[in-house]
Amino acid sequence: MEPPPTTPSNFEWDACHNHYHYEGYADYALYTSGGAALPTIGFKNGFCIMDLGSCNYGGGPTKYNCANMGITAGCQDIYSRFLDCQWVDITDIPGGEYTLVIRVNWDYSPDANGSYELSYANNAVAVCFSFDRDADGNAVNFAKYQDCPVPLDCIGHPYGTAEPDCAGNCPGFLTKGDLNSDGEVNPADALMYADLLIEGQDTDAPCLDLNADGELTITDVALCADCAHYGHNHLGDNGVEDHCDWNGPLTVPDEQVQFSLILPHEDSSYVEVYVHNPNTWLSGWSVELDGAQFSNLVPLFDTTGYHHLFHLSPEGRAFGVALQDSLISKSTLPQPLFRVDFTASTGTLCLLDVSEVTNQDRHNVASVSTGCVTPGAYCLGDVNGNGIRDVGDLLTALSIFGCDDDCGTADVDADGLVGVNDLLIMLGLFGEPCQ
């Protein structure tokens, strides 16, 4: 089993689930009472394949053990319920009626000598059960049923592996995220996702909308790029990880990123967007500017070794996404993210409160974007007007800390409030002379 997108407090990743795929071992799958297959939730991790106990099925004497593994014809290997890793985790499965299917050699592989089984009739078994959840989420009222119908796959084969593709075809061959239809998700697909986003196309098509949130956003681009880079069987810190398994939108609740719009220098022909991400490494971001025609996006963070795609529309829609494992570092201080030139200003430029962020795991985090600026000749952070960002500016800002009405240049991030973010930006510019 691979770890769920968010790890519950009562779930611990352990060596039992840090497995590799060995031919001939068993896999576990759950089917709902309606026959729908849930994502594979378990995978048997073998220890020793051996003759255990007497051979009660017409076989000869035992001859296999951990040093010389195998099972003699007519013999058996026993994995008791007390042995580690002989369980299926149902932590995130809602209460209901289920059929647990256990299959061995499900792909009809030959043995090491190239020999195939004479019959596959006993390669699968099903157990039907049900349980409820109490108010605290604990599994209660667990019951197992004696009469358990054989589950059929989508083409009617008992214990079959055929499942509908992302478009509902059965049998089907469409792969979710494979925009160029070459049978796999690769870097070319990520670039095609970015092109769709640049063109402003919006779709909730099941084969395109990777996180199933009903729209095409920077998150879909980030997820596709992550899948293309790592694939299904990436060996990460927690074992084998499937970076192409998309189960729906996921927002990390305890992380937040703030974007701020500022005019950093006397030159009023461009604006900069700062990002404050003290707890989050960024893999993708998108914001929207308003109030002018925008051009020439220049990233302001260190892009050495980065593989990013950036885009800016003349109307002010800007985004960046990591095409490989290259992230924007988290920072306790607001840091410059990008700069754009502007023309044909309407008088006030604003950063709209429409933003989206993906973290290092390509999960969404909460984000806010604030700030309106009026182009003019002033020096960001020089609150007292002496031509340098110094202690006097900090003291002046502190003296009106909390101001929320006509706060002047002390409102560095132009969000209508003199707060912590303003002081952090001033500290980042501390000591720099105005140009």
pLDDT at 391 > cutoff 50: yes
| All structural domains of the chain with their residue ranges | 1-47+83-163, 187-241, 251-373
Max mean pLDDT among 84-88, 169-173, 263-267 falls in 169-173
pLDDT at 9 > cutoff 70: no
Which helix (H) or strand (E) is 391 found in, with range? helix 391-399
Interatomic CA distance for residues 375 and 349, integer angstroms: 8
Q: How confident is the model at residue 41 (pLDDT cuts 50, 70, 90)?
A: low
110 preceded by a cis bond (ω within 30 of 0): no
Among the listed ranges 20-34, 302-316, 325-339, which one has the minimum average pLDDT value? 20-34
Among the listed ranges 57-61, 281-285, 338-342, which one has the minimum average pLDDT value? 57-61
What is residue 12's predicted lDDT score, i.e. its pLDDT?
A: 32
- Looking at 199-322, list the stretches that DSSP marks H as alpha helix, in order from N- to C-terminal side: 218-230
What is residue 5's predicted lDDT score, i.e. its pLDDT?
A: 37
What is residue 16's predicted lDDT score, i.e. its pLDDT?
A: 43
What is residue 190's predicted lDDT score, i.e. its pLDDT?
A: 92
pTM to 2 decimals? 0.62
- Looking at 51-209, list the stretches that DSSP marks H as alpha helix, in order from N- to C-terminal side: 187-198
pLDDT at 20 > cutoff 50: no
Interatomic CA distance for residues 121 and 117, integer angstroms: 10
Determine the straight-line distance between the first and last CA of the chain, rounded to whole angstroms: 58
Locate 142 and state its tokens.
């667990």
List, as one string, the DSSP characters of 409-427: GG-TT-SSS--HHHHHHHH
Q: What is the pLDDT of residues 182-196, one digit of tens each?
A: 889 999 999 999 999
For the residues 235-262, what does the mean pLDDT come to?
Answer: 84
For the residues 11-15, what does the mean pLDDT come to?
Answer: 33
For the residues 60-74, what does the mean pLDDT come to?
Answer: 80
pLDDT at 317 > cutoff 60: yes
Interatomic CA distance for residues 10 and 114, integer angstroms: 44
Q: Are residues 351 and 259 in contact, defined by beta-carbon separation less than 8 angstroms?
A: yes
Burial of 164 (0-12, 13-18, 19+ CB in 10 A): middle
What is residue 106's predicted lDDT score, i.e. its pLDDT?
A: 75
Q: Are residues 37 and 163 in contact, defined by beta-carbon separation less than 8 angstroms?
A: yes
What is residue 8's predicted lDDT score, i.e. its pLDDT?
A: 31
What is the percent of the chain with per-residue pLDDT over 90, rounded to a whole number? 25
pLDDT at 11 > cutoff 50: no
What is residue 3's predicted lDDT score, i.e. its pLDDT?
A: 36
For the residues 280-303, what does the mean pLDDT come to?
Answer: 93
The answer regarding whether domain 251-373 maps to CATH 2.40.30.170 reads no
> Mean pLDDT across the chain, nearest whole number?
81
What is residue 159's predicted lDDT score, i.e. its pLDDT?
A: 82
Which helix (H) or strand (E) is 301 found in, with range? none
What is residue 60's predicted lDDT score, i.e. its pLDDT?
A: 62
pLDDT at 181 > cutoff 90: no
Task: For residue 104, report the phi and psi dihedrals to the nearest 5 degrees.
Answer: -120, 145
